Structure 1
Amino acid sequence: MSEVAPVFRSPIDLHTHSSASDGTETPYNVVRSASEAGLGTLALTDHDSTAGWPSASEAARDHELTLIPGMELSTRLDHVSVHLLSYLFDPVNPALLAETETIREARLARAHAIVDRIAADYDLTWDDVLAETQPGATVGRPHIADALVKKGLAPTRSDAFQGILHWRAGYFQPHYAPTPLRGVELVVAAGGVPVLAHPGTGPRERVIPERRLAELVDAGLFGLEIEHRQNSPEGKERLYELAAKFGLAITGSSDYHGAGKPNRLGENTTSPEVLSELIDRATGWSPVYGAVTRSL
């Protein structure tokens, strides 16, 4: 038998989170869960962090699954949060590393401010929130939600976001994030491949303006995450139109958070052809192939 180049396998899920950000499973266990769910390829995309890459890579080798190391980068457009899935970039690129550190510090300060506001009306402390995080995790609103659940102030994480953590409740606090254009530029400069995460959550008119999308395409945007449970039917329709107009790749993903969200691994997937193009475009990092394909 002669060894040939490793290949990834389907099904392919390109958006998941671990306890390195706001998921409930360790990076290793996210990969193990993906293997048990029958996935062949998985991207780990924790918020503004690559801390889970080493453990997830070990799990990919142990469980014969292909890992696409990635990150979900926080950006902001006209006061609206825009998330940028970023794949196979250099994790020690100085500019990108500095920006993610700034974002994480801003997230931490924002979380403190939110908890202080909530504590004025409810029995919640900063220690309660820290108890719901793992060492080194990017602290965020999901951890506050988990603390609210633990304290009996909300039935589930989702209920916490629809209640106390909803912006209408008065406790919301924004945090610093670069513009989507700056985010795309940083990821591309680090050899990575950027994709807009679930950009169609509202009606057609709330999808990113065409002129802004054109700027991102010119800067190196690779695709749009269209098959995602949070995208509305009207939003998806508009996104498919934009993808066709600008020649953008279409991805589908679960946005798995373990027990933190109802999203299930592999509920939406990406085609092998799109992933192959994504890998070919990346220059910053390589997939972790958990198994080597052999031919006779």
Structure 2
Amino acid sequence: MILLYADLHIHTTASDGSDTPGEVVKKALRLGLRAIAISDHDTLSGVTEAQQAATGFRLEVLSGVEVNTYFQGNEVHVLGYLIDPRNDEFVTKLEEFQGERLERTKKMVAKLRELDINIDLDRVLELSAGGSVGRPHVAQALLEKGYVSSLQEAFATYIGAGKPAFVPREKLTPVEAIQLIIRAEGVPVLAHPGLVKLDPFLTDLIEAGLKGIEVWHRNHTPLMVDHYYHLAQKYHLIPTGGSDYHGVGHDTCNILGGAVAPYQSVQLLKAAAGKN
């Protein structure tokens, strides 16, 4: 029996990834993946290009998005799969997110200048390539100018939470993101739970409509995978997974297919969305 796998957490140049959606599709085909999901930060703009690039090949491309939220001072990401891209409320909300991202970036660049660290806003926007601009692009600009030796150092020294140039985002809660995704006929999934420690509040998210949990992730240890798989079974959540691929320039999440889910996860997502 041939085992089929899916990488359901991938970023492209539509947000903070280094590969275009088309390049991601080519790599996925070389790896023999059966399905992928383009799940850029706060945007669906990379999905259509990827789906067009996969036309005629045995590779499914699912629409996805990763929504940044906050809970008790911690950043929590919620993945939304199979969202209706014509849903006016969701499209409007994503446009608001893009505006907030731009204003946040401007404030970070200004704070860095106060520290005598001069990076050009236009260069940061250029690095975002017209996609969702964010801290990774600021970090890349810092790296280019020689202020840091790695992207991780940029976050640890300047733009991470609590650091001198950090600017908090507008506070969307995980529950609000889950409900927003449901209203757009999508399937909400908690991303990389091992990085946020939300176990005590998982039932609250389930009551709000959470349908899945990311079990397989590049930064999950085998013990974490086992733990979250059992939680998925206990609460009847869809177990999903993916590499969180950002491209070769990323410090850690730089291997497409580095974490995958069984193809059954795709089938379960489709069933939950009523799109089988």
TM-score, L = length of structure 2: 0.90
Residue 275 (structure 1) aligns with = 266
Is contact 2:83–2:184 with CA below 8 Å preserved after alignment? yes
Amino acid at match of 1:28: G
Identical-residue share of aligned pairs (%) = 36
Helix, strand or coil at the partner of 1:260 = coil
Note the C-alpha offset of 1:152.
Answer: 1.5
Does 1:244 find its partner at 2:237?
Answer: no
How many pairs does the alignment contain?
Answer: 271
In the TM superposition, 1:1-296 aligns within 5 A as 10-61=4-55, 63-121=57-115, 122-135=117-130, 137-201=131-195, 207-210=197-200, 212-231=201-220, 236=225, 238-261=227-250, 262-263=252-253, 264-283=255-274
**One-letter amino acid of the structure 1 residue matched with residue 220 of structure 2:** N
Q: Which residue identity does 1:47 align to in structure 2? A: H
Query: Counterpart amino acid of 1:243?
Result: A
Q: Which has the higher contact order (CA 8 A, sep 6+)?
A: 1
| Partner Cα distance (2:28, 2:151) in 1 | 22
Secondary structure of 1:61's counterpart equals coil
Q: Give structure 1 regions of 4+ aligned residues with deviation exceeding 4 angstroms.
A: 232-238
**Rg larger in 1 or in 2?**
1
Q: In the superposition, relative to structure 1, how do residues 128 and 174 fare at CA in structure 2: closer, same or farther (>3 Å)?
A: same
Contact 1:207 1:239 in 2 (8 A): no
| Segment of structure 1 superposing worse, 230-239 or 240-249 | 230-239
Amino acid at match of 1:125: D
Give the secondary structure class of the aligned counterpart of 2:55.
Answer: helix
2:79–2:190 contact (8 Å) kept in structure 1:
yes
Task: Confirm or deny: 8 A CA contact 1:74 1:177 kept in the other structure.
Answer: no
CA RMSD, aligned part only? 2.1
1:225: Cα distance to partner? 0.8
Q: Name structure 2 gaps, 5 residues minimum.
A: none
AA aligned opposite 2:207: D
How far the C-alpha of 1:238 sits from its partner, in A, is 4.8
**Residue 218 (structure 1) shift:** 2.2
CA deviation vs aligned residue, 1:102-125 (integer Å, no higher than 9, x gap): 222112111111111112221212
Report the 3-state secondary structure (helix = DSSP H, G, I; strand = E; otherwise coil) of the residue aligned with 1:28: helix
Q: Alpha-carbon deviation of 1:17? A: 0.4
Structure 1: 5+ residue stretches without partners: 1-8, 288-296
1:118 to 1:235, Cα distance in 2 relative to 1, 3 A: farther
Contact 2:105 2:135 (C-alpha < 8 Å) held by counterparts: yes
Q: What amino acid does structure 1 have at the position aligned with 2:125?
A: L
Question: Quick one: structure 1 residues 235 and 25, their matched pair in 2 at CA, closer, same or farther if it must change by over 3 Å?
Answer: same
TM-score relative to the length of structure 1: 0.84
**What CA distance in whole angstroms lies between the structure 2 residues aligned with 1:241 and 1:280?**
21
Partner secondary structure for residue 131 of structure 1: helix
Can you list the C-alpha shifts for 1:126-167, whole angstroms capped at 9, x where unaligned? Answer: 1221231212x1110011111111112222323322333233
Q: Deviations over 1:206-242 (max 9, x none)?
A: 61143x3222212321111122123356655653453
